C-alpha cells in the first residue's frame, strides 16, 4: 500500500529530529563563549562546535578505527561541567594531566619543572603580586601557585586570559568524568557583551534575536567564521 505524502513527510522529519538529537547528545554540540577568560583565542560571542565523542568511553571495537577517540592532551581547549556546580559548563585549556606537577611562579607556568611555551596566553595586568600572606588569596594564587600534583582521573585547566580566569588554581582539578568534549571550530562569532546570552526571560531573549536579525551582517565577526581552535 502506497504511503500518503503526509505520512512520508512525517517520517522524514521524525528521522531528521532523531538524527539531530543523536548528534547533539553523542557527537557534536554548540557552545557559546560567555566571558573573556579565554581571550584572545576565544572571544565573547564566539559560537563553537564541540567534539563530544573524542573523550568518550570506547571498547576496542570497529568504532575506535572510525572515530578518533583519545585521552585529553596538554593544550586541548576543553568543555566540562564546573566542579563546584555541575549544572554549568565551563571552557578552559588543559595544561596538566594526571601525575603532572603544576606550578605558577610570577605568572610563568611550569609543568614538571619545565617552563611552558604558551603563545596563546595573555596578561592584561602588568602587576605581579608576591607569594605573601599579606596579599589577597585571589591575587596570590593568580600569580603564584603550587607546586601541585594533578590527581589520578583528573586534569588541570586554566584560562588563556590568565589575569582574569576562574580556573583550577582556585577550585581544583576537573574530574575526568566531567569532560564534555573538545572545542574544535568557531562556526559563528557575534559581537556580544559578557553573559549576553544568559537566560533572563522570554522578553530579553526576543530582543536578543531581533538584535541579531537587524545587525547580523554588521556585528558578525566574519574573519573568525570557521576558524579552527588551537
List the catalytic residues.
37, 92
Cα(155)–Cα(68) distance, rounded to whole angstroms? 20
The residues near 55 (Cβ < 8 Å, ≥ 6 apart) are: 69, 70, 71, 72, 78, 176, 179, 181, 182
C-alpha grid cell, residue 39 = 581571550
**Which is nearest to 102 in space by CA: 58, 59, 158, 57?**
158
Cα(43)–Cα(191) distance, rounded to whole angstroms? 9
Cα(162)–Cα(13) distance, rounded to whole angstroms? 46
Amino acid at each position: 500500500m502506497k504511503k500518503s505524502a503526509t505520512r512520508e513527510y512525517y517520517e522524514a522529519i521524525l528521522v531528521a529530529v532523531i538524527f539531530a538529537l543523536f548528534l547533539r547528545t553523542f557527537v557534536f554540540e554548540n557552545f557559546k563563549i560567555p566571558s573573556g577568560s579565554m581571550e584572545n583565542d576565544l572571544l565573547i560571542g564566539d559560537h563553537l562546535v564541540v567534539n563530544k565523542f573524542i573523550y568518550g568511553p570506547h571498547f576496542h571495537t570497529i568504532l575506535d578505527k572510525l572515530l578518533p577517540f583519545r585521552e585529553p592532551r596538554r593544550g586541548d581547549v576543553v568543555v566540562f561541567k564546573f566542579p563546584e556546580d555541575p549544572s554549568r559548563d565551563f571552557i578552559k585549556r588543559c595544561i596538566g594531566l594526571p601525575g603532572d606537577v603544576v606550578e605558577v611562579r610570577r605568572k610563568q607556568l611550569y609543568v614538571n619543572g619545565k617552563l611552558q611555551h604558551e603563545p596563546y596566553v595573555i596578561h592584561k595586568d602588568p602587576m605581579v603580586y608576591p607569594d605573601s600572606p599579606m596579599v589577597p588569596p585571589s591575587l596570590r594564587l593568580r600569580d603564584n601557585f603550587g607546586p601541585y600534583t594533578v590527581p589520578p582521573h583528573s586534569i588541570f585547566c586554566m584560562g588563556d586570559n590568565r589575569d582574569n580566569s576562574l580556573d583550577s588554581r582556585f577550585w581544583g582539578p576537573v574530574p575526568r568524568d566531567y569532560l564534555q568534549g573538545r572545542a574544535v571550530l568557531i562556526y559563528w562569532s557575534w559581537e556580544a557583551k559578557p553573559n549576553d546570552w544568559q537566560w533572563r526571560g522570554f522578553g530579553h531573549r526576543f530582543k536578543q534575536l531581533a538584535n541579531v536579525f537587524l545587525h547580523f551582517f554588521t556585528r558578525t565577526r566574519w574573519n573568525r567564521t570557521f576558524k579552527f581552535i588551537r
